[in-house]
Amino acid sequence: MIKITFPDGSQKEYDKGITVEDIAGDISSSLKKASVAGFVNDELYDLNRPILEDADVRIVTKKDEKAFEVLNHSAAHLLAQAIKRLYPEAKFGVGPAIREGFYYDIDIDTQLSEDDLPKIEKVMHRISEEQTAIERHECTKEEALELFKDDEYKQELITDLNPSETISYYTQGEFKDLCRGGHIGSTKNIRHFKLLSIAGAYWRGDSDRNQLQRIYGTAWFTKKDLENHLEVLEERKERDHRKLGKELRIFELNNDAGQGLALWLPNGYTVRKALEDYVYKLERKAGYKHVSTPALGTKKLYEISGHWSHYRDNMFPVMERNDETFVLRPMSCPHHMLIYKSDLRSYRDLPIRYAEIVTQHRYEASGALSGLERVRAMTLTDAHLFVRRDQIKEEVLAAYNLIQKAISDLKLEIEYVELALRDKKKGKFHDDDKLWDLAEATLKELLDENDIEYTEMTGEAAFYGPKIDIQVRTAMGHVITMSTVQLDFLLPERFDLTYIGSDGDKHRPVVIHRGLISTWERLMSILLEQYKGAFPTWLAPVQIKLIPVNNEYHAEYAKELNDRFIDEDLRSELDLREEKLGYKIREAQTLKIPYQLVVGDNEVNDNQVTYRKYGEKKQTTVSVDEFIALVKKEIKDKA
């Protein structure tokens, strides 16, 4: 007999070799039905794996998060078995459960496309109907190497295993797979699943090794859960900024222009201009001065700043002509240091805040590029603040508050704040420990004093100093850096920046780097997804669309209105194309234009406008002046 202890402390004796499933059944038949696996002394056990000694047992039911993982991991095996039936030459990389499902990396001779997925799913369903038991086996390393001798990937995994580790593999019918477990007992328990997509994935993430085909899928315990999840995925797809950016004619990516080098279309550029005007005003009110500097600089400038020794991997290669050597700037800080240096500065002049909307270039790995979210040419809402030591906290906090205001004006939310610190072991940070300690301690103190919660991230600092990174969650579900405030004692040293103190001596200023609302590229990706493409009126590329019912009778008045709106600084457009009225209305709808004005007899006769707001059914008729006032108020309020 063995003694089983339950989470509530109660105990019971069972025969040696009892399984989690039997224990669940002993407690109640409904628990048996809901059970998926069990934790036996913190090790995940399959339902049918015998327990051989006294143990703490916690039964995992379908409601547990762990159960989803077990199910999805089992679904990955089911996928592999189906692949092996369809493509007997198949070899397999890894096949884990992930956040919302599973994947398996496979190596077969055929290049699969998404059209092949239903065929594979069909075989998976057949195997599920076969109700094959999923069984665990243990073996020695030699035995494992022999069992998987036809699969070079599994061989490599086995070779790398720790000698002290028990090696286990699982079988289901004719299929076997090297695996730690746990699994779901029988293929019959995997019924509600869907294969979603295919992508390329290098073996062990190493671009010098074989590229495998990665098939993604998701599995759920009930049909309803699966359907709900597929709906969420559909909705997410609708929100993907790459899709919306195309439909709304915001930007274009074309490999002939270059990967990660986006082209802004008229609509996108208009939104960007509106944002630019907004940023300029916001910064002027906050005491920033605007400057402009070139995208090209000498290599020497970046040697002085330290970018050349610490940041070169992220830079495009140098350009040489005659005796001159240039680089395409990855950042604007060095230029702003030179502007500071262009004049004599006194303690009374500080803080000096230079802002610039800066186009810069970074050589991001091609695999890391993703729509507008991560690009190689980007325009940053940048600033560098030159401050005295006694002004650091006040200025960092003011910069942080300005960021908060901008984020809230854009109706976005901060997901969390990261404090990015150096990693002493890594060579990519400047090596003056005293300056690092001071900068890191200052930012920590400031966050603590102001009750700003943050997560520390070791090794994520800039080479010149620690950063406060403000993270937002995109509607697609990933978390990215939106804004940043960075404290830098290094560049002032490197550029020998000084000011004359009240004591008449020379002192070093400190630099604060600030990214307000990221780059236009990343911001646009976030906004498109957040707004589902329906920009608020203050940002909409076209705010008003005028559609005459009949060009012959109504165009003249519509044109008058259009001119008037443009004079009032509203972005209005007149649709005089020879198209059907219904077509024009639908198109304005697809383009998510905030105000649609159909101009007919009533409007002409009464000198009025009838508008319909995007997303609303009702039509409202008002005087022209009232309409203008209403739209202007909405723009002013950023509603």
The footprint of Zn ion (CB under 5 A) covers 333, 513
Q: Which is nearer to Zn ion, 239 or 384 (CB)?
A: 384
Which listed option, Zn ion, ligand TSB, none, makes contact with residue 380 (CB within 5 to 8 Å by class)? ligand TSB
Question: How far is it, in rounded angstroms, from Cα 639 to Cα 637?
Answer: 5
Least distance to ligand TSB, CB of residue 362, Å:
5
Query: Smallest Cα–Cα separation from 480: which of 565, 539, 416?
Result: 416
Q: Which two tokens stand for residue 525?
A: 């990706």
CA distances from residue 305 to 233, 299, 486, 490 in whole angstroms, order as listed: 46, 10, 15, 8
Which listed option, ligand TSB, Zn ion, none, makes contact with residue 519 (CB within 5 to 8 Å by class)? ligand TSB
Residue 596: what residue type? Q
Which listed option, ligand TSB, Zn ion, none, makes contact with residue 190 (CB within 5 to 8 Å by class)? none
Q: Which is nearer to ligand TSB, 362 or 592 (CB)?
A: 362
Q: Which is nearer to ligand TSB, 430 or 571 (CB)?
A: 430
Residue with token string 């990214």:
515
Question: How far is it, in rounded angstroms, from Cα 591 to Cα 244?
Answer: 10
Least distance to Zn ion, CB of residue 303, Å:
17
Which listed option, ligand TSB, Zn ion, none, makes contact with residue 572 (CB within 5 to 8 Å by class)? none
Q: Which is nearer to Zn ion, 386 or 557 (CB)?
A: 386
Q: Which contiguous run of DSSP H or E holds residue 308?
A: helix 307-310
Q: Which is nearer to ligand TSB, 90 or 380 (CB)?
A: 380
Q: Which is nearer to ligand TSB, 278 or 464 (CB)?
A: 464
Which listed option, Zn ion, ligand TSB, none, makes contact with residue 307 (CB within 5 to 8 Å by class)? none
Least distance to ligand TSB, CB of residue 438, Å:
19
Please name every residue paired with 218 in a beta bridge, in sequence order, or none if there are none: 194
Question: How far is it, in rounded angstroms, from Cα 405 to Cα 411?
Answer: 10
Residue 382: CB partners within 8 Å, gap ≥ 6?
A: 332, 355, 356, 357, 358, 513, 514, 515, 516
Least distance to ligand TSB, CB of residue 472, Å:
10
Which residues of this chain interact with ligand TSB, rule CB under 6 A? Answer: 331, 333, 362, 364, 374-375, 378, 380, 382, 384, 481-482, 484, 513-515, 518-519, 521-522
Q: Which is nearer to ligand TSB, 44 or 271 (CB)?
A: 271
Least distance to ligand TSB, CB of residue 368, Å:
8
* Cβ 554 vs Cβ 600: under 8 Å: yes
Least distance to ligand TSB, CB of residue 236, Å:
21
* Cβ 91 vs Cβ 210: under 8 Å: no
Least distance to ligand TSB, CB of residue 491, Å:
9
Q: Which is nearer to ligand TSB, 82 or 337 (CB)?
A: 337
Kindly state the DSSP code that residue 51 receives in the 8-state scheme. P
Q: Which is nearer to ligand TSB, 144 or 446 (CB)?
A: 446
Which listed option, ligand TSB, Zn ion, none, makes contact with residue 362 (CB within 5 to 8 Å by class)? ligand TSB
Q: Which is nearer to ligand TSB, 80 or 331 (CB)?
A: 331
Cis status of the peptide bond prior to 317, with omega within 30 of 0: no
Least distance to ligand TSB, CB of residue 199, Å:
21
Which listed option, Zn ion, ligand TSB, none, makes contact with residue 518 (CB within 5 to 8 Å by class)? ligand TSB
Least distance to ligand TSB, CB of residue 288, Å:
13
* Cβ 423 vs Cβ 459: under 8 Å: yes
Please name every residue paired with 610 in a beta bridge, in sequence order, or none if there are none: 621
Least distance to Zn ion, CB of residue 288, Å:
14
Least distance to Zn ion, CB of residue 394, Å:
20
Q: Which residue is nearest to ligand TSB (CB)?
A: 513
Least distance to ligand TSB, CB of residue 417, Å:
13
Which listed option, ligand TSB, Zn ion, none, makes contact with residue 241 (CB within 5 to 8 Å by class)? none
Which listed option, Zn ion, ligand TSB, none, makes contact with residue 536 (CB within 5 to 8 Å by class)? none
* Cβ 627 vs Cβ 611: under 8 Å: yes
Query: Smallest Cα–Cα separation from 595: which of 567, 560, 565?
Result: 565
Q: Which is nearer to Zn ion, 186 or 305 (CB)?
A: 305
Which listed option, Zn ion, ligand TSB, none, makes contact with residue 521 (CB within 5 to 8 Å by class)? ligand TSB
Cis status of the peptide bond prior to 182, with omega within 30 of 0: yes
Question: How far is it, in rounded angstroms, from Cα 126 to Cα 148?
Answer: 25
Q: Which is nearer to Zn ion, 250 or 462 (CB)?
A: 462
Query: Smallest Cα–Cα separation from 217: which of 240, 235, 233?
Result: 233
Q: Which is nearer to Zn ion, 103 or 464 (CB)?
A: 464
DSSP-assigned states of every residue in 557-602? HHHHHHHHHHHTT--EEE---SS-HHHHHHHHHHTT-SEEEEE-HH
Least distance to ligand TSB, CB of residue 376, Å:
7
Say if residue 581 is exposed, middle or buried (CB neighbours under 10 Å; 0-12, 13-18, 19+). Answer: middle
Which listed option, ligand TSB, Zn ion, none, makes contact with residue 442 (CB within 5 to 8 Å by class)? none
Least distance to Zn ion, CB of residue 522, Å:
16
Which listed option, Zn ion, ligand TSB, none, makes contact with residue 364 (CB within 5 to 8 Å by class)? ligand TSB
Crossing angle of helices 117-129 and 65-86, in 10° steps, is: 110
Show the DSSP H helices in 93-240 as ranges. 117-129, 141-147, 152-160, 223-239
Which listed option, ligand TSB, Zn ion, none, makes contact with residue 481 (CB within 5 to 8 Å by class)? ligand TSB
Residue 417: CB partners within 8 Å, gap ≥ 6?
A: 447, 452, 453, 454, 455, 468, 469, 470, 471
DSSP-assigned states of every residue in 518-559? EEHHHHHHHHHHHHTT---TTT-S-SEEEEES-HHHHHHHHH
Which listed option, ligand TSB, Zn ion, none, makes contact with residue 46 (CB within 5 to 8 Å by class)? none
Burial 8-24 (b: 16+ CB within 10 A, else e): eeeeeebeeebbbbbbb
Q: Which is nearer to ligand TSB, 345 or 513 (CB)?
A: 513
Q: Computed from CA positions of residues 232, 236, 239, 244, in that sequence, does the dihedral angle turn out positive or negative?
A: negative
